[in-house]
Structures are given as C-alpha cells and as structure tokens.
Amino acid sequence: MPWKNWSAERLGIALALLAAFGFSLKAIFVKLAYAAAPVEAITLLALRMALSLPFFLVAGLAAWRSGEPLSRRDWGLLVVLGLLGYYASSMLDFLGLQYISAGLERLILFTYPTLTIVVGVLFLGKQFDQRLIPALLLSYAGIGLAFAHDLQLAGDTRSVLIGAAFVFGSALTYAGYSAGAEVAVHRIGSARFSALGLLVSTAAAQIHFLLSEPLEALIQPWPVYAYGAGMALFSTVLPVFWQSAAIRRIGSARTVLIGTLGPMLTLFFSWTLLDEPLSAHQLGGAALVVGGVLLVTRKK
C-alpha cells in the first residue's frame, strides 16, 4: 500500500485529517438519528458508548497490563475526568442538538481549546497568555454570527438559547477534561488514560440510561442503530486512535491546528446531508472561530 512508504510527518498529517473528518460527523449522525425516530438523548448516548465498548475493552486491557498499578489518587483523577469527558460533555452536546443546528453546535463546541487555556489559568496555575484575549474575542464573535443565523431561521429564541447553553456546557466540561488530561497523561500514561477514561465514560452512560429509561427504550427503528453504529465507529473509536497516532507523529499543536478544519467540515456535511441552509453568517462565524483557535495554538 502507498501509505506504507510515507514519512512519519506525512502519515501524521493524514491521520490528523481523518480524525478531524470523523469528529466532524458526530453531530450529523446525532441529527440523522433524531430525524429517524423520537429517541432520547441518553438512549442515543448509551447506544453510542455500548457499541464502542468492545474496542475500548481491548484497548483498556492492553493498557492495563502495560504499566504499574494505579494509586487511589490516580483512580480518583481517572474517574473525575472520565465523567467530565465523554459522558457529561457528550450528554450536554446531545441535548443541545435537539434545539440547534449541527453547524452552530460545532462552532460553539470548538471553543474548547480557548476554554481549556482559561481553565488552566484559573484552576491549574498556568501562566496567562496575552493571545488569549483576541482569541476569545474572535471565537465568540464567530459564535455570535452563527447564533444570529440560527435565530433568524428558527424564529424561536428560547429554543436556540437552550440549545446553545447545553452545547456551551459541553464545551466547558470538555475543556475541564482536556486541562486535567495533561496532568493525568503525565501520571498514568497516554494509552492507559485514554482507554480507561473511555471505559469510565461508557459505564457512566449505561448507569444513567438504566436509572432514567426503561429497557424498552433500546428498541428503536433500524436507522437509529445504523446511525449509532456509525457514530461509535467513525466518530468515536477511530478518531480517538487516529488523533493519538497523529499526536505521536506530528505533536499536539499541529494536530490541533489541522483539527480546526472540523467546523468547516460540519458546516459542509450539515448543508449536504441535513439540508441545513449555509449562509455567509455561518461561514464568517466559522472563519472567526478557527482564527481564534489558531491564535492560541500557534507558537509564539
């Protein structure tokens, strides 16, 4: 195969592009599932995580055998970050997508790199970077443009506000996860943290489902299972591994930079697959959000 002869840098760039592509499809799968049947957000999340579980178990078992036993403090950190990351953040995101467009969701969610830096400054003693101010201004100006677009189309200000609040909560919880992950990776190791953290998230999603919904809620039309499987494979499992592999080859900064394509890809897919209108407001908003992320990820 041609890719076997690629350099580490070229392969890393390709993997980062694939990860951005996969993550950008998540909102599309969620929207398609909501259109196929009146499925609850927690049911859809439980399906996504359950279908991802076999892959996480294999990775988790391999990671568990690869290092020293974890201390009680390590387990505590792992549980907290696992609950924040792919459980709380995903739950809030799925709830928000019931109210707003996939394009606006991706723009709001993509503020997490700037929010991660804010969390680091406020709670982890990180040094304040002056680039944060214009980056935040650019990002939130971009969200404002896309927000105005959704308000014009929806005609229901309350619904858009509720959806935007849920998704911003998702971005904030994921920022907390990202900021804490830097500490956890140094203590636990990258592979162990990723695999075990995802297992914690999966367990939390299943417990939430069992406590809030009857088992009959899992009986859904086949398109919901298809979209759930697509989301599990192409927007959860594969992108997580692609992103980790890309970071090993080209570093986290360049991987994040390539990931700024995500909002643009989601806008394109929401236009082509969901028939959501694409406007100058959305394109301008996406450009501003991406510009804000570029400001905080480029080297000084």
pLDDT of residue 31: 94
Torsion angle in degrees (nearest 10) through CA of 170, 181, 243, 13: 110
Q: What gap in Å lies between CA 14 and CA 20, rounded to an integer?
A: 10
pLDDT of residue 130: 74
pLDDT of residue 93: 94
182: CB partners within 8 A, 6+ apart: 120
pLDDT of residue 239: 87
Q: What gap in Å lies between CA 25 and CA 120, rounded to an integer?
A: 28
pLDDT of residue 1: 56
Contact criterion met (CB below 8 Å) for 231 and 30: yes
Within 10 angstroms of residue 14's Cβ, the number of other Cβ atoms is 17
- Collect the ranges in the chain with pLDDT lower than 70: 1-5, 63-67, 128-129, 131, 153-155, 190, 252-253, 257, 296-300
Contact criterion met (CB below 8 Å) for 136 and 296: no
> Residue 48 corresponds to which amino acid?
R
- Residue ranges with strand state E in 55-116: none
pLDDT of residue 85: 84
* N-to-C CA span, the chain: 38
Dihedral sign for Cα atoms in the order 84, 142, 256, 119: negative
232 CB burial (10 A radius; 0-12, 13-18, 19+): buried
pLDDT of residue 3: 61
Q: For residue range 217-240, what is the model confidence (pLDDT) as tens digits? A: 999 999 999 999 999 999 988 888
pLDDT of residue 237: 86
